[in-house]
A and B are shown apart, each in its own frame.
Chain A
Amino acid sequence: MDKMIYVDNLRKEFKKVIKEPGLKGSVKSLFSPKKEIITAVDGVSFDVDRGEILGFIGPNGAGKSTVIKMLTGILTPTSGMCRINGKIPQEDRKNYVREIGVVFGQRTQLWWDLALRETYAVLKEIYEVPDEQYHKRMAFLNEVLELDDFITSPVRTLSLGQRMRADIAASLLHSPKVLFLDEPTIGLDVVVKENIRGAIRQINEQEGTTVILTTHDLSDIELLCERIVMIDKGKKVFDGALSQLKHSYGQMRTFRFELLSPDDIALLDYRGRFKLSDDDCSTEVKKASVCVKFNSSLVSVEDMISYTLQTVHVKDIEIRDVEIEEIIKRLYKREVAV
């Protein structure tokens, strides 16, 4: 197999000095510091094929950014190893980063006071992009990310959406083989999000760029990634196709029944009828409609519908698709055994 990214038992520990509260505690820790080792990433292994878009997800503080920072050569792993594009990031950092692009949604890598156009001129020098290729590339990025409106403005004056597009364009200028995107859609409106997703897809399809994407916006994942790796508390908890996740853990189904008369709602008692706990069944009533979310591994879809039809008069039924968000929420909360 042609693996672009190969991560083996990667581990990162941080030492933390524990301070007791107050000034007294601070003074005490100055003389006899109590150190605690925090394992941010605890033996994570996975690999990514050439040209794949991998969704790398997990709750806040799971260790996603720490993994990305090790893969991009910013942090040195405590143990384990990662090999990307045949290179070990920490061994020859300068050569390694030549072929990768990195975007951290939370902080820009551009120069605050430089006009955007000058920023790209600097990057052109840094990556030694030949003139002709540079012009072609800029035209392409301009088109895909719509940079034209603000290319002469200094970076500090850009809006968040503009800045993020600018950052992504900056990471693609040298046509990297691997693109690391750490929350590239954070805080953006739907139009910009769509624009950025389109750009990622286009780069991936046209140039076969391998992409690792971390995000909290699960529509990013649904629209871009075929496969996801999920980590929690520094450990990998899921690795597989998105469809597999839906299939294996998508027991939670949602039906919405619109009733003829709102008075009938009181007649429905799903939890009592099927003996379900609050977690496995919840209802939401709005005017004459009732929304029921239930665990389909405990109650069949058929039973659910027939019970409703027998109990009340139904005007309309809406059957919603399995929501990936729901599955992931349950996984994050450790309700689903993996």
Chain B
Amino acid sequence: MLRYLRLHRIFISQHLKRLMEYKTDFLLGAIGLLIAQALQVMFIGIIFSQIPELEGYTFDEVLFIFGFSLIPKSLDHLFTDNLWMVGYSIVRKGDFDKYLTRPINSLYYVTVERFCVDAFGEMLTGILLLSYSIPRLSMAFHWYTIPLALVVVIFATLIYTSLKTMTAAISFWTKASGHIIHMLYMTNDFSKYPVTIYNKAVQTLITYVIPFAFTAYYPASFFLTDKNPLFCIGGTVIAGTALFALALFIWNRGIRAYESAGS
């Protein structure tokens, strides 16, 4: 475990060094994501300039949920972005070979290679939204609120990482699965808003099938209302753990099916 952390440290310091080399690239990437998020916030602002509240949620509450959703999303983005490349090209081109010839976990190895600093744009938006909305909300603060929020963020990130791992692993059988990961991320758009605004089908989908609702709305609604801790927090922890176990299982089965490519 310690070895893995040391490896991460070396890689991250390398990435940061590289960042200094390609400053413009980083700035453009981060600014791009920042603008994308800002537009979404503007969109929410426009809606609320027409209506006072959305299914019982005020502007500030919606901003809180949106801001909260960006934290685990950006963390996953920061650390496991290379899974996109697994889905799009690494497996298809046979480049996955090299991840199998080293004595470390292949999933860890493939993700540690990329540290997607663009994600800081998303994270910054999330932090800004939270620091704007929290003081304007009458949320109950307990001694456990902060530690609990950290735990929730960890498991919510795990939900992202697991779903991405599973969809990326499909490429071991189909050669490429980038579009499937892309589809997954389309449903992720639902998770930014209160789940109650959707119809039953979408609610079921993002609660029980692709449980993105547990990465933002449910835990956020617990922090907002102090109600339903078992479902809202417990659900996140359970979904994160179960999906991660399933993702590892699928990943390992996938490696056995991996066919490499001619050289």
Contact = CB atoms under 8 A, between A and B. Distances in A.
Contacts of A102: 101
B263 A73 contact: no
A100 B98 CA distance: 13
Contacts of B100: 72-74, 93, 97
B7 A74 contact: no
Contact of A125 (B10, B14, B94): B10
Given A122-B7, A122-B11, A125-B3, A75 B102 contact: no
Contact of A74 (B10, B97, B105, B113): B97
Interface in A81-117: 90, 93-95, 97-98, 100, 102, 104, 106-107, 109, 111, 113-114
Interface residues of B, number: 25
Interface string B92-111: 00110110111111000000
Nearest to A65: B263
B260 A109 contact: no
Given A107-B95, A113-B14, A72 B101 contact: yes
Interface string A99-143: 010101011010101100010011001111000000000000000
A111 B104 contact: no
Contact of A118 (B6, B10, B101, B102): B10
A109 B7 contact: no
Interface in B112-133: 113
Contacts of A65: 262-263
B179 interface: no
A93 B256 CA distance: 11
A325 to B, nearest CB: 23
A97 B109 CA distance: 14
Given A104-B263, A126-B7, A109 B101 contact: yes
A98 B103 CA distance: 5
B103 A75 contact: no
23 contacts: A73-B101, A74-B100, A74-B101, A74-B260, A75-B260, A76-B256, A76-B257, A94-B104, A95-B103, A97-B100, A97-B103, A106-B263, A107-B95, A107-B98, A109-B101, A113-B18, A121-B10, A122-B10, A125-B7, A126-B7, A126-B103, A128-B3, A182-B263
9 closest Cβ pairs, A-B complex: A109-B98, A98-B103, A106-B263, A102-B101, A74-B100, A94-B103, A76-B256, A97-B103, A74-B97
Given A65-B263, A74-B258, A75-B258, 11 more contacts: A69-B97, A69-B260, A74-B100, A74-B260, A93-B100, A94-B105, A97-B101, A97-B103, A118-B10, A125-B7, A125-B10
